[in-house]
Amino acid sequence: MNATALFEYGLAFLTLYVSVFFILLLLENRHVLKHNPKPSRYPTISIIIPAYNEENSIAATIESVLAAEYPNKKQVIVINDGSTDSTLAKARAFAKRGVLVLNQPNAGKGAALNHGLRHAKGELVATLDSDSFIERNSLVKLVGFFEDPTVGAVTSVMKVHEPRNTLQRLQRVEYLITVFNRRVLSFINSINVTPGPLSVFRKSVFDKVGGYDEHNILEDQEMALRIQAADYRIESSMEGVVYTKTPRTLRELVRQRVRWHRGGVRNLLKHYYLINPRYGDFGTVIMPLGILSMLAIFVVIAISALALLHRQPGLLEYGLSNFIYTFSPMHLLGVMIFLGTLAWTYVGIKSIDSETVNPLEILAYVVIYAPLITLFWLVTAFKEAKREKLRW
Sites of contact with other proteins (CB under 8 A): 12-13, 16-17, 19-21, 24-25, 28, 188-189, 231, 277-285, 311-315, 318, 321-322, 324-333, 336
Distance CA 118, CA 102 (A): 11
Return the number of the residue (16 or 363) whose C-beta is nearest other proteins: 16
Return the number of the residue (60 or 285) whose C-beta is nearest other proteins: 285
Return the number of the residue (12 or 254) whose C-beta is nearest other proteins: 12
- Taking the complex as a whole, the smallest distance from the CB of residue 273 to other proteins amounts, in Å, to 14
Return the number of the residue (24 or 347) whose C-beta is nearest other proteins: 24
Distance CA 202, CA 215 (A): 23
- Taking the complex as a whole, the smallest distance from the CB of residue 307 to other proteins amounts, in Å, to 9
Distance CA 150, CA 200 (A): 14
Return the number of the residue (95 or 339) whose C-beta is nearest other proteins: 339
Contact present, 236 and 36 (Cβ < 8 Å): no
- For the sheet with 151-160, list strands across it: 100-104, 74-81, 45-51, 124-128, 198-202, 151-160, 233-244, 132-134
Contact present, 293 and 19 (Cβ < 8 Å): no
Report long-range pairs for 359-363 (Cβ below 8 Å, ≥24 apart): 361/169, 361/170, 361/172, 361/173, 362/173
Q: What is the CA radius of gyration of the chain?
A: 22
- Taking the complex as a whole, the smallest distance from the CB of residue 135 to other proteins amounts, in Å, to 33
| Cα dihedral 267, 269, 274, 275 sign | positive
- How far is C-alpha 330 from the geometric centre of its chain's CA atoms? 31
- Taking the complex as a whole, the smallest distance from the CB of residue 274 to other proteins amounts, in Å, to 11
Return the number of the residue (24 or 67) whose C-beta is nearest other proteins: 24
- Taking the complex as a whole, the smallest distance from the CB of residue 358 to other proteins amounts, in Å, to 29
- Taking the complex as a whole, the smallest distance from the CB of residue 267 to other proteins amounts, in Å, to 20
3-class DSSP state of 44: coil
Return the number of the residue (102 or 151) whose C-beta is nearest other proteins: 151
Distance CA 113, CA 108 (A): 9
The amino acid that residue 107 corresponds to is A
- Taking the complex as a whole, the smallest distance from the CB of residue 129 to other proteins amounts, in Å, to 30
- Taking the complex as a whole, the smallest distance from the CB of residue 35 to other proteins amounts, in Å, to 19
Contact present, 100 and 145 (Cβ < 8 Å): no
Return the number of the residue (152 or 240) whose C-beta is nearest other proteins: 152
Q: Do strands 124-128 and 45-51 pair parallel, antiparallel, or not at all (unpaired)?
A: parallel
